[in-house]
Each structure stands twice: as structure tokens, then as C-alpha cells.
Chain A
């Protein structure tokens, strides 16, 4: 996914309009694309998603801690579909705090599961009042059309 989007950008096959998402934006590192990928395949996708997000959003701020130390959204491991809602929301308290501290109005999540947890659960439970987009949704919404 990251390699594909980056390829389109690098080869100028898509052009991104940076005037659409001007609000403060942050990026969530999904555990499987980052830590897990690093463990299993020797490469963690940390920087790629940020680079693509930055290419769309001029006001980008990282959560603390970012990258390999980042917190799980709380719904990993299939928890989004399991009957442990209290544990899932409790786990997500750290993610909610991280998001709040960035002051971002838009959170980019490159994973279905994380996006659902942040948008549909944490946003409400912790009154974050944020917008959440998939990475590819951000790119699609930033398409500038042919030059």
C-alpha cells in the first residue's frame, strides 16, 4: 500500500493538492505495519505513511512517542470484533491522549481496524472531536487532477 502510493507520487502519476487539508494533522502507526512488520519481515513501515501524509497536509505533527514506540489504537488483535469493549476502550486511552496532545483535527490511519477504533470509538468515548481518514482516503481526497 505505502510502496504503491509512493510510487504514484514519485512517478508523477498522481498530483496532490496541499490546500485541501490545511488543518493540523497527525498520523497513527498501526502495530502490524510497524513493529510487527519489522519483526517478521525486517522492515517496519513507519516513515512511508508519514511522508505521504506530509505530502498532503502542510500542518503535520507527530504523536509522542511516534514510530516503533507508538501506542496501539486498542482494537488490534481482532479486539474490534471481540466482546471486550471495556478493555478495548481502556487500552485506547493512551491513543486518545496522544491525539489530544498533538492538537490535530485530522488523524490519518492506514488500517481499517485502527480507523474504526479511532473514528467510531475513541472519538466518542474521549470526546476528541476529530476527523479520521484512511491514508488512501486522504490521497483520494487530495487528488489535484491531471496537470
Chain B
């Protein structure tokens, strides 16, 4: 501990002239060294010894940071049980969405077209996550009513990854409770190569029929299935062969006109990755992997995902 003083103040304290103090410092009988702002610093022991020599008592409080009686009194007022801080659940903070930087400004809520629908509000969702209201948040259907449109994120001054975060909450939903058919679509796709489970034979027969029809107006047209070395691998949205097969012909007419070298894979031709919507990264990876396999197997150089 140290004692900090000005020459004039110490001179007054001990009833001597300022120059006397300066002499003591200069000749070493007062072991003080220059400190900040024209002050001097000495060990508290040296100050106590000086006081003893002059029959004075040290100035009150100089030997302690605080007076013990006062500390006692303060401690009494703050008589709290020990408080454990707890740790934020990693469920939300492990998502790389930077939700911790949210300012609660509400811009996202203002930008969201469905703020207020069933109490949904992106700002509220981020705040609930930060306040660890995990159970409450996971129990809502908000992330499923949100269209992941990204208007909220576009308006956020802190660039919080709100859309990625919504998808992250979707991923935490028990798979059996994913609303609508998207999870069963993912399962079907993993098992049978497309979201609607269209068998390969039916698909190939359909392509053949449609190709023949189109050849009437585009002479020489055929649907190139599994053509090795084609430039473009074309994926299909399974709703097309299922509900409106003729709509596939629009692309085909363009390819025919442009003289494109293209192909459709006979299996795993699905272009709609529902794992993206259901929040199923694992399935999404598998489905993307299959597209890459097809690209490599058929030695194509570009992929068309008309979704």
C-alpha cells in the first residue's frame, strides 16, 4: 500500500516548511518518489514511521481503501443469497445467425408482411431466443408461417441472419410434427429419388410420350435421358410430370431451338430440395450429393435447377 501526497499538504500535516519536505526527499530521509500530477508517492509503512516520529496518528482511512465499519454496513444492506448466472442454452446461440447483436430496434417487425399474425413478429422471436424462452418459442408455429422471404433481414441494421435463424428453429421441430407434407416428401425423395415417388418406368415412359408429341412441331426432337457428355444436366420439379407434364415442353422447345446439348437423369432427377424448407440439413446434403453424382456420372458441366 502507498501514501500519495503533495509537498504542500504534507508540510501542513506535519507543521514544517515545504522546503524541509523537499530536502528530506532529496537527501533520502523521506523515501518518496515522484508520482503523477506533481504528487509524490511513498510506501504506507514509511508514512506510518514518519507519523510515529512526529507523535501523530496517520490520517484516518489512509491505511485502508475503505473504513471497515462502513464496509460492514454496506455488506449488511446487500445481504443477498449467492446468485448463479446460468449459461445461455446452446440451442439458439450455436446457430451462426448473430442473434446476440440484435438491438431490439424493431425494424424487422416493421418490414415483415405478416407481423401480428398469431402474434408472429421476427423481433419478438429473436428476443425470445435471447431470453432463453426456448420451450415457448419451439411450441409456436411462427417459423412455419414465416415464408423465409428475407424482408426482415434486409431491413436489419445489425445484419442479424433472421432467415437462417428461422430455418434453424424449423430444424429443431420433431420430424413427425413438421406441418404439411414436406417432411414426408423428403422421406419419399430419399427412398425413391423424387418428392412424389414417381417410379422410374412411368417417368421414362412419360418423357418418351411427351418427346414424341413435341417432335410433331420440332422435327427430330427426342428427350435425351442419361446422355453422357451433355453440357447441361436438367433437373425436374416433380409436380410437373405429376400434374402438368406439358409444362416441361417449354424448356425443351428452347433447348431445341438453341441447339443445346442437354440431358435428364433417369433417376434422382428431382430438382426441388424440400430439406431446405423442412430444416433438414442432412437430407438436403444427400439430395444435393445425388445431383452432383449425376453431374459426374454423365460428365455434364452445368446444372439447371428450374425451381
Contact = CB atoms under 8 A, between A and B. Distances in A.
Nearest to B118: A87
A81 B154 contact: no
**In which size bucket is the chain B interface?**
35 or more
A71 B147 contact: no
A78 B149 contact: no
Contacts, number: 119
Given A1-B305, A84-B144, A8 B258 contact: yes
A134 B240 CA distance: 13
Given A91-B147, A112-B239, A136 B254 contact: yes
Contacts of A88: 147
Contacts of B233: none
Contacts of B254: 5, 8, 14, 136, 139-140, 143
Interface residues of A, number: 41
Nearest to B306: A1
Interface of A: 1, 4-5, 8, 13-14, 31, 35-36, 39, 68-69, 71-72, 74-79, 81-84, 87-88, 90-91, 94, 111-113, 134, 136-137, 139-141, 143, 145-146
7 contacts: A5-B254, A78-B274, A90-B114, A112-B239, A112-B306, A139-B250, A140-B254
Interface of B: 113-114, 117-118, 141, 144-151, 153-154, 163, 166, 179-182, 185, 232, 237, 239, 247, 249-251, 253-254, 257-260, 272, 274, 277-278, 302, 304-307
